[in-house]
A = this chain, B = another copy of it.
């Protein structure tokens, strides 16, 4: 039995190295420019061996996304262990975490346009399950923040959710970092601030404010 466990452990390590390589390549080059040859080279094994672990390039991408979704969920759970902390601060902390991951070059981002990949992911059970779990947890925070009006209650909750996901790969961070004029932490502070407060100063407030949008964020499943 110890033998089996050992083999399993080696297997885990191998696959973890592969997923790490995919993660880094997705973060830097993106899905379309990432080649399976590169993944194999970086993970230190032959391409044919890699295909014994993951049956396609899409599977590789899905594995990397599953891992980052799990890590995000861990972060959410850790923040939920501090129930005295205001919900809006937890949302802020999650955005901050995603930006730090992105700044470290470890946020895998998928092209929202590649329909082949999108379809594959929609049919990927493990990926979809993690996505729903995380979305539900964040959706809970969002509706609580909206009911106490620390988040704008006029926005549909799924829009807030989409925006949080989108900011995790916002190109603004990369552009500011490439400018080389500002400290990393300063950049993150600004991005968090604009996510929740916008570019303006509040002088504009009282724009369109339609019905309170009571629907749950679980509508994501329908997509």
A interface vs B, CB < 8 Å? 28-30, 32-33, 88, 92, 109, 111-114, 149-152, 155-156, 158-160, 162-163, 166, 170-172, 174-176, 178-179, 181-182, 186, 189-190, 192-205, 207-208, 210, 219, 222-223
Contact = CB atoms under 8 A, between A and B. Distances in A.
Given A151-B200, A201-B149, A202-B197, A114 B172 contact: no
A199 B29 contact: no
A163 B199 contact: yes
B158 A179 contact: yes
26 contacts: A32-B33, A32-B111, A88-B200, A88-B204, A111-B111, A112-B171, A112-B175, A152-B194, A155-B193, A155-B194, A156-B176, A156-B182, A158-B181, A159-B176, A159-B190, A160-B199, A162-B171, A162-B172, A162-B175, A166-B171, A178-B223, A197-B198, A197-B200, A197-B202, A197-B204, A197-B205
A30 B199 contact: no
A62 B223 CA distance: 34
